[in-house]
Structure 1
């Protein structure tokens, strides 16, 4: 198992009710699998599932990037503003 810190923004933060959570995940979990897991636990997030971008340790990454122990992960839904 690995431990990661998941930082939450916008719709993700609203759904989970907190700005970050610590999670234990199986080794080899990808950032997309993490996103899918969160969206399955919080069905209101399904609308953002295929539009979310991913970041690990302050770097944008592709969906198939495997998570490592100690990573700081962000799920970035589309946002608008002005």
Structure 2
């Protein structure tokens, strides 16, 4: 299934893209997607502990199942000041 992945802030710099389409097998979770993305962009994995993840504009846990044509947004923590 195709998953649309959006990258925000510094994550966009790491991947060189604002968004990509990523192929994942049926039954994949957010954690599975992240594992795949970290293999492609190892520096992305450095953000793992603080990464915010939303599926279809709702924040989710990494155990969340992905669905065909879903949109996954990856964001670093918000900084204020």
TM-score range relative to shorter protein: 0.7 to 0.9
Structure 1, gaps ≥5 residues long: none
Structure 2, gaps ≥5 residues long: none
- 4+ long deviations beyond 2 Å: none
What residue in structure 1 maps to residue 20 of structure 2? 21
Q: 1 CA distance for matches of 2:60 and 2:32?
A: 13
Q: 2 CA distance for matches of 1:53 and 1:26?
A: 22
Classify the secondary structure of the residue corresponding to 2:59. Answer: strand
Classify the secondary structure of the residue corresponding to 1:64. Answer: coil
- CA distances 1:8-37 after superposition (whole Å, capped 9, x unpaired): 112221111110001111011111221121
Q: 1 CA distance for matches of 2:39 and 2:49?
A: 13
Q: 2 CA distance for matches of 1:24 and 1:39?
A: 14
What residue in structure 1 maps to residue 32 of structure 2? 33
Q: Is the 8 A contact 1:36 1:49 kept in 2?
A: no
Which residues in structure 2 correspond to 1:1-82 (within 5 Å)?
A: 2-82=1-81
TM-score normalised to structure 2 length: 0.88
Q: 2 CA distance for matches of 1:34 and 1:9?
A: 16
Number of residue pairs matched by the alignment: 81
